[in-house]
Amino acid sequence: MAQGYGQEKVLDKYEATTLPMIEIVRADGPLRASFDETERLLHRAREEALFNDHPALARGLRFLRLVGDHALRVFTQRRKEIQPLYVSLRRSSFIAEGAALALEKLEAEGLSKWSGEYVVNVATWRYQNVPSDAAIALALRRVIEHPPAPAPVLEFVAERDDPAALIHLLWLDSLPDLVRADLPVEDLMQWLVSKHPGRKTSDVLAGFSGLLYHREFRAAFTEQEPRSYTTTDGEIMGSPLILTSA
């Protein structure tokens, strides 16, 4: 009972703090669009309008970026807190679902059918008379005189190449060791693109996300203007991310 209350408390905390942060950090969310539009209007006010309070405009731009940065940090912290609970609830859900299916099948088929299909039958061998010497000699003779089977032939084939999914996973697992030697990294996306120029956009984003949420590193977006990063099959736009040791 206490465990269930604790889980509900953690879930309520997650919904109250993390869900609003998701709306801020989402690249296609309405708040992200509002931030971008506000930033565009501030740039126009500085370049086109007769508004000469440039420090105030700079403070506004800096505040907008700090809001997104703070939301990302809170979202990452809540994600780390809720992950063990999610795994536990997922495992409990699978167990409950399997038990419900088993009970439903038992109710529909009855216990008599289960004893023949799902219960392990233990075979027993009962004998009353001791085997005679003739029976033992006959059994041994049948074993000894039985023609031997030819040895199996093993077919040796050339080893196939490693699957692409395995190679991709090994590359992602090697990124923490590679980036650790170059810490601190001033621009993580530029580091990925320059160190691995042959990678596609999806690979670069997967490696970027893995390093961003890695427990041994600390990441923070800078206040610099967003820049573009060219990959083999596309282009990524975003502000530089600083990666340091945790």
Q: Evaluate whether residue 190 is within a structural domain.
A: yes
Q: How far is CA 222 from CA 19, 85, 226, 245, in A?
A: 24, 32, 9, 16
Q: Evaluate whether residue 45 is within a structural domain.
A: yes
Q: Evaluate whether residue 110 is within a structural domain.
A: yes
pLDDT at 124: 64
Please say which residue of 50, 80, 114 terminates a domain.
Answer: 114
Q: Evaluate whether residue 223 is within a structural domain.
A: yes
Please say which residue of 82, 114, 146 terminates a domain.
Answer: 114
Q: Are residues 107 and 176 in the same domain?
A: no
Q: Are residues 102 and 178 in the same domain?
A: no
Tens place of pLDDT per residue across the chain (246 aa): 444 444 555 555 555 555 666 666 666 667 667 777 877 887 777 777 666 777 777 787 788 778 777 777 777 777 777 777 777 877 888 888 888 888 888 788 777 776 666 666 666 666 667 778 888 898 888 888 888 778 888 777 655 666 778 888 888 888 888 888 888 888 888 898 888 888 888 888 888 888 888 888 888 888 888 888 888 888 888 888 888 887
Which residue shows structure tokens 């206490």?
Answer: 2
Q: Are residues 15 and 101 in the same domain?
A: yes
Q: Which amino acid is at 220?
A: A
Q: Are residues 17 and 101 in the same domain?
A: yes
Please say which residue of 50, 81, 114 terminates a domain.
Answer: 114
pLDDT at 3: 45
Q: Evaluate whether residue 48 is within a structural domain.
A: yes
Supply the pTM of this predicted model: 0.37
- Looking at the structure of the chain, the number of domains it has is 2
Q: Evaluate whether residue 220 is within a structural domain.
A: yes
Q: Are residues 180 and 78 in the same domain?
A: no
Beta strands in the chain (DSSP E): 217-221, 227-230, 235-238, 241-245
Instruction: Look up residue 229 and give its two tokens.
Output: 């990063």
Residue 89 CA to residue 93 CA, distance in Å, equals: 6
Which residue range(s) make up the domain with 91? 2-114
Q: Evaluate whether residue 122 is within a structural domain.
A: no
Q: Are 202 and 169 in contact (CB under 8 A)?
A: no
Q: Evaluate whether residue 81 is within a structural domain.
A: yes
Which among 2, 5, 24 has a CA at the least distance from the CA of 78?
A: 24
Which among 69, 70, 74, 77 has a CA at the least distance from the CA of 241?
A: 69
